[in-house]
Amino acid sequence: MSSKEEFNQISPSEFFYRNRDLAGFSNPTRSLYTAVREFVENSLDACDHSGILPNIHMTIKAVDPEKPDPKQYILTVKDNGPGIPSKHVPLAFGTVLYGSKFGLKQARGMFGLGATMAILYGQITTNKSVKVKSNEDGKTRYDFELILDIQKNKPVILKKEEKSSSEQGLSVSICLEGDYAKAGTKIRDYVYQTSLITPYATISFDDPKGEKFHHKAIIRVMPPAPTIIAPHPYGIDVETIRRMLVDTHYQIPNVDDKMIEKIRKELGMTKKKFNYNDIMKKADKKWKSLTRPVRVVIALMSFLQADFEKLQRIRIEDVDLRNNKLVYWDYSTSQTIAVDMETENPYYKQLANTVQGESLIHFLTKRFQRVGPTAASEFCKFAKFKTETRVGNMSDQELVKLSDALQTYEGFRSPDPTCLAPLGEIPLEKGIERRFQPDFMAVVQRTASAYSGFPFIIEMGIAYGGNIKSNGLKVFRFANRIPLLYDEGSDVVLKVVNDTDWGRYKVRSDSASMVIVSHICSTRVPYKTVGKENVADRPEIERELRLALQFLSRKLSSYMSKKGQAEMAKKRANLYSKYLPLIAQFCTELAGKKKEPSYQKMIKEEIVIEEKTE
Amino acid sequence: MKKKQSKALKDKSKDLVEILKKHGAQVYEDLENGQFPKISIPNRSISNIIYDKKLRQYILGSGTALRSSKNTSQLRSFTQLIWLAFFANKLTQQKKSSTLRDVYYSSQAFEVDFEDQGESDNIIVDLEAVLTKPREEFYVFPEERSSIFGDLTIEYTIPGYEGKKMNLSDHPDGYAIGPSLTSSQLVDTSAELVIAIEKGGLFTRFIEEKVDKKFKSIILNTGGQAPRSTRTLLKRLHDEMGLPVVILTDGDVYGEHIAMVIKSGSANAAHLRELTVPDAKWMGVWATDIDKYKLPTIPMTESDIKRCYDLQKDPRYQEGIWKKELEVFLKIKRKAELEAFSKYGLTNITDKYLPQKLELAKSL
């Protein structure tokens, strides 16, 4: 449903240029971090969707290392993904809002505009071009140098080269004003945490100080990719319904050369010129095999008694079913003409159906997920609509009423989570194990749930002891496989963690070395701010988080009590081996004996018993 | 008489060693059989302290607590108790005296881990309760602060002095009641009475005024609340030498209770017998004496008054002078010290007060 023109009208790059704070480019520190995120996430998304195990290499280099921060840096992110067709490269990187992420499925970025924002920011601060190298087939690499024309929202190609290269993938390099001294910690955290939640990816990073960070992939299997699905009724608004109505097969097709070509083809009349009667005859014969748009055009032609030539000269203005009039504009005479439509005409019904659109029940069952015929007719009863109401005829008020009812009706099944891509318990576990080598760990993936029509899945892991360096509880927050690093305090995950009474689970949260990894997957993560760094506390999400944490805490608790028992046993054995010899010594003298009693086996037995219970 | 006493004392010491050996043998046997040894200790908590009207003292009820070496929270204190038994056995056999503090420091050679002296003191009381014998019997003695003077001949039993005799009227400052005195034989006396007095100053005055001769008495300074070795000595003077005991204290509620403890013991020592002189008599200073002898007084403090109310709940204060004097103290809310008599001359107490009270005591 994406087309470039549509979005050009909504948001030109100038709008983003003026509002760059919104996208996370407010200052050199934040901008460097955001740019890193946007490119890395684009690469990961591209690999995910093509089923390629990601291998991403990032470098940040100072243009002049001697200068103090903030200064110019060159940021390069190279992946092994599918690359971008060379003809799309200029548009993809030189146009704001060019992208393919508009379907309803989980992806890291929302609209794919962040990368362009980064390029835009780089261009504004350094006046340097972006270098893109794309290799789709592992044979040919196309190298571009582009700048953006901000006013026109258009790319300007400075250089284009074709080279032979066996390395598939995409490499993007920009020059931008940044402050690595300040952003460095966050960027390293970001790379580290991304590797934790993407254990199937190899991510390496060469930082400006010459340090190299290499996070090798831990697993060789990718979690299943999400699928694009129809929206759920709960997540809908009036504007979306209106768009769904427009974006339908039930439109009067635009009759252009292409359309006529199509009709000819379907009727098998490609060669010769045909008159009106020939067309009608042929159409009647082949009616069953004709596609819908062709049928509609045939119907129109029958009412207008028009052949292809005439059809090309006019534009249909209105199909007025109330008065049974067909109104059209004639280019050759420059006037509006209305013709009566005979209701007996066999093509009348075809045209009428098309104009009125599908019936409501059909619209609901076909265009939404989780709505079957029963649910749809139940809903119509609830919303006081007739099931056979034609959606094309609905007034604005009716649309509002429909939209409201869709969100208040409680009979729909919960959203379909197949559009989500949780990491999965095993990869999550492997990731945690590799990073922390904890003494204890547990992971859980909750079943899918939904908040206001958006499905989501909570995944959570807990790790204790081992190589965990932190003293106290550390929470790693992720949303759609993106680490959330800023604004920790106001996040719903933190709220749930802080509400937990750890004492109940035999954990001293202030001193224990403990890590919680929380991953929220959703088609729309409810971020509190545009910065997309903290998740709002929706009751449904909070509930799922709580249940996940409780489940894990109970497991931890049972580990802790086992550990406690083992420690007790050890302590006890120590006490016995300390005091029993003393008792033996004293009582031997008290009793006036010469030889000490043989108590040694008591100490050993005690240890053996305790080891078994452990 | 002398021979008989001597034998009794030896038996006592032998007795103790036997009991210790018996306990030691039991622990030994348990260990040999692969059993965790345990020991039953009379429960010394308030709920298990009851007043025995027949014995006229506090005793422990039938409640006992089992201390087991298997229980890790008791293992340390069990070890400490066995160590103390071992140590007490040594002391008794070698007749070496020690103090509570000595015991605490001696323990440090054995890694039995007393955290502080309070803990070792507590274990000592535990052993007393197990043996039902005061610690003086296993040669743990209090700091000496009480003393004795009068015509009493004793014979030492401590190593190096065995058979040596001594008359307790030879030194005008009196004799400290220490281990050697407590463990000696009481041989002979011309006295007909023991006067126990609360304060050292008055003790000296009594010697100066020859109260021992004038009233044919042995004078004993309790130094406040009488230590248990002193109480044991008082009991022996009463039981072995047939001497009545009278007690002279300050005219306040604490003085009254010092007399009561000599007479019938304390709740603290409910696990012990043979520390009391049930026939001992408190002859003053009574609350009623304050008015009678026009003594200068001090007002009672809050804690004095509280102490009165506390003692009113004690079963021993439910009758006779004990009850009556307590009520008067509460009524007048004033108290008088023994030294108050000095207002009427330094010898007023020995010249006037003492004879009158001794006369009165005969009828008590």
Residues near A483 by beta carbon (within 8 Å), at least 6 away in sequence:
A189, A190, A193, A194, A196, A197, A476, A477
What tens digit of pLDDT does each residue of A326-346 get? Answer: 888 888 888 888 888 887 887
If you average pLDDT over every residue of chain A, what do you get? 82
Q: Which of A287, A305, A306 is nearest to A295 (CA)?
A: A287
Instruction: Please answer yes or no on whether A580 and B20 come within 8 Å at the CB atom.
Output: no
pLDDT at residue A8 tops 70: no
Query: Cβ contacts (< 8 Å) between B111 and chain A: which residues?
Result: 578, 582
Alpha carbon A107 to chain centroid distance?
2
The residue ranking higher by pLDDT, A450 or B165, is B165
Domains and CATH numbers, chain B: 2-138 (1.10.10.10), 188-362 (3.40.1360.10)
Q: Which pLDDT belongs to residue A469?
A: 80
Q: What is the pTM of this model?
A: 0.54
pLDDT at residue A530 tops 70: no
Q: ∠A131-A136-A137 over CA atoms, to 5°? A: 140
Residues near B143 by beta carbon (within 8 Å), at least 6 away in sequence:
B99
**A475 upstream amide cis, omega within 30 of 0:** no
Residues of B with catalytic function: 105
Q: Which of A492, A488, A486 is nearest to A544 (CA)?
A: A492
Cα distance from N-terminal residue to C-terminal residue, chain A: 60
The partner residue sitting opposite A575, judged by closest CB among B23, B75, B83, is: B75
- DSSP-based three-state secondary structure for A9: helix
Amino acid at B294: K
The confidence band for A614, taking pLDDT boundaries of 50, 70 and 90, is: very low
Q: Is B32 on the interface with A (CB under 8 A)?
A: yes
How far is the C-alpha of B285 from the C-alpha of B219, rounded, in Å? 17
Instruction: Please answer yes or no on whether A590 and B82 come within 8 Å at the CB atom.
Output: yes
How far is the C-alpha of B49 from the C-alpha of A580, rounded, in Å? 33
Q: Which pLDDT belongs to residue A325?
A: 83
The confidence band for A239, taking pLDDT boundaries of 50, 70 and 90, is: confident
Q: Which pLDDT belongs to residue A26?
A: 82
Contact present, A79 and A166 (Cβ < 8 Å): no
Instruction: Please answer yes or no on whether A590 and B32 come within 8 Å at the CB atom.
Output: no
DSSP character string of A97-144: T--S--SSS--SSSSS-HHHHHHHHHHHHH---EEEEEESSSSEEEEE
Looking at the complex, report in whole angstroms how far the Cα of residue A591 sits from the nearest Cα belonging to chain B: 4
How far is the C-alpha of B221 from the C-alpha of B219, rounded, in Å? 7
Extents of the domains making up chain A: 4-215, 233-247+358-408, 257-356, 418-556, 561-613
How far is the C-alpha of A561 from the C-alpha of A577, rounded, in Å? 24
How far is the C-alpha of B215 from the C-alpha of B351, rounded, in Å? 11
As a whole number, mean pLDDT of residues A487-513 equals: 82
Phi and psi, residue A210, nearest 5°: 90, 0
Give chain B's length. 364
Contact present, B204 and B163 (Cβ < 8 Å): no
Q: Tell me the sheet residues that pair with A375.
A: none
**CA dist A368 to A100, A288, A375, A416, Å?**
21, 28, 11, 10
Looking at the complex, report in whole angstroms how far the Cα of residue B117 sits from the nearest Cα belonging to chain A: 20
Chain A residue at shortest CA distance from B93:
A590
Strand order of the β-sheet with A55-62 is A154-164, A140-149, A130-135, A169-178, A71-78, A55-62, A202-206, A212-215
Contact present, B281 and B320 (Cβ < 8 Å): no
Q: Which pLDDT belongs to residue B193?
A: 93
Q: Does domain A233-247+358-408 have CATH number 3.40.190.10?
A: no
Give chain A's length. 614
DSSP state of A236: -
Instruction: Please answer yes or no on whether B111 and A582 come within 8 Å at the CB atom.
Output: yes
Q: Which of B152, B154, B218 is nearest to B9 (CA)?
A: B154
Q: ∠A483-A487-A488 over CA atoms, to 5°? A: 70
Instruction: Please answer yes or no on whether A586 and B72 come within 8 Å at the CB atom.
Output: no
What tens digit of pLDDT does each residue of A145-195 get? Answer: 988 887 777 788 899 999 999 999 999 999 999 999 999 999 999 999 999
How far is the C-alpha of A474 from the C-alpha of B328, rounded, in Å? 71
Q: What is the ipTM of this complex?
A: 0.77
**CA dist B72 to A587, B56, B84, Å?**
19, 40, 19
pLDDT at residue A248 tops 70: no
What tens digit of pLDDT does each residue of A255-303 get? Answer: 777 888 888 888 887 766 778 888 888 888 888 888 878 888 888 888 8
**Burial class of residue B286, CB neighbours in 10 A (0-12, 13-18, 19+):** buried
As a whole number, mean pLDDT of residues A501-528 equals: 83
Q: Tell me the sheet residues that pair with A76.
A: A59, A173
Phi and psi, residue A36, nearest 5°: -55, -50
pLDDT at residue A358 tops 70: yes
Contact present, A129 and A146 (Cβ < 8 Å): yes
**Placement of tokens 């790059």 in the chain:** A13
The partner residue sitting opposite B24, judged by closest CB among A571, A591, A605, is: A591
Torsion of CA A2, A5, A10, A13, to 10 degrees: 110
Instruction: Please answer yes or no on whether B78 and A601 come within 8 Å at the CB atom.
Output: no
Element at A61 (helix H, strand E):
strand A55-62
Query: Cβ contacts (< 8 Å) between A576 and chain B: which residues?
Result: 72, 75
CATH number of A4-215: 3.30.565.10
HEC per residue, chain B:
CHHHHHHHHHHHHHHHHHHHHHHHHHHHHHHHCCCCCEEEEECCCHHHEEEECCCCEEEECCCEEEEECCCHHHHHHHHHHHHHHHHHHHHHHHCCCECHHHHHHHHCCCCCCCCCHHHHHHHHHHHHHHHCCCHHHHCECCCCCCEEECCEEEECCCCCCCCCEEECCCCCCCEECCHHHHCCEEEEECCCEEEEECCHHHHHHHHHCCHHHHCCEEEEECCCCCCHHHHHHHHHHHHHHCCCEEEECCECHHHHHHHHHHHHCCHHHCCCCCCCCCCCEEEECCHHHHHHCCCCCEECCHHHHHHHHHHHCCHHHCCHHHHHHHHHHHHHCEEECHHHHHHHCCCHHHHHHHHHHHHHHHCC
As a whole number, mean pLDDT of residues A100-128 equals: 67
Q: Which pLDDT belongs to residue B97?
A: 85
The residue ranking higher by pLDDT, B349 or A418, is B349
CA atoms within 13 A on the CB side of A596: 10
How many other C-beta atoms can be found within 10 angstroms of the C-beta atom of residue A397?
A: 8
CA atoms within 13 A on the CB side of A208: 26
DSSP state of A32: H
How far is the C-alpha of A172 from the C-alpha of A92, rounded, in Å? 12
Q: Which pLDDT belongs to residue A90?
A: 80
Chain A residue at shortest CA distance from B29:
A597
DSSP state of A359: B
Could you please state the CATH topology (level 3) that the domain comprising A418-556 is classified under. Ribosomal Protein S5; domain 2 (3.30.230)
Which residues 46-85 of B have a C-beta within 8 angstroms of A?
A: 69, 72, 75-76, 78-79, 82-83, 85
pLDDT at residue A473 tops 60: yes
How far is the C-alpha of A366 from the C-alpha of B34, rounded, in Å? 80
Q: Which pLDDT belongs to residue A152?
A: 72
pLDDT at residue A394 tops 90: no
Which residues 540-579 of A have a C-beta within 8 angstroms of B?
A: 571-572, 575-576, 578-579
Q: Which pLDDT belongs to residue A113?
A: 60
Alpha carbon A588 to chain centroid distance?
77
Cα distance from N-terminal residue to C-terminal residue, chain B: 29
What tokens appear for B141 in the block? 């003695």
How many other C-beta atoms can be found within 10 angstroms of the C-beta atom of residue B231?
A: 28
Q: What is the pLDDT along chain B (364 residues), one digit of tens a residue?
A: 443 444 455 566 778 888 999 999 999 999 988 889 999 999 888 788 888 888 878 888 888 889 998 888 899 999 999 999 999 999 988 888 888 899 999 998 888 888 888 899 999 999 999 988 888 888 888 777 899 999 999 999 888 898 899 999 999 999 999 888 888 999 999 999 999 999 989 999 999 999 999 999 999 999 888 988 899 899 999 999 999 999 999 999 999 999 999 998 888 888 888 788 989 999 989 999 998 999 999 999 999 999 999 899 888 888 889 999 999 999 999 999 999 999 998 888 988 899 999 888 887 7
How far is the C-alpha of B252 from the C-alpha of B153, rounded, in Å? 34
Contact present, B247 and B160 (Cβ < 8 Å): no
Contact present, B270 and B49 (Cβ < 8 Å): yes
How far is the C-alpha of A350 from the C-alpha of A338, rounded, in Å? 19
Instruction: Please answer yes or no on whether B31 and A576 come within 8 Å at the CB atom.
Output: no
Q: Which pLDDT belongs to residue A611?
A: 46
The residue ranking higher by pLDDT, A72 or A48, is A72
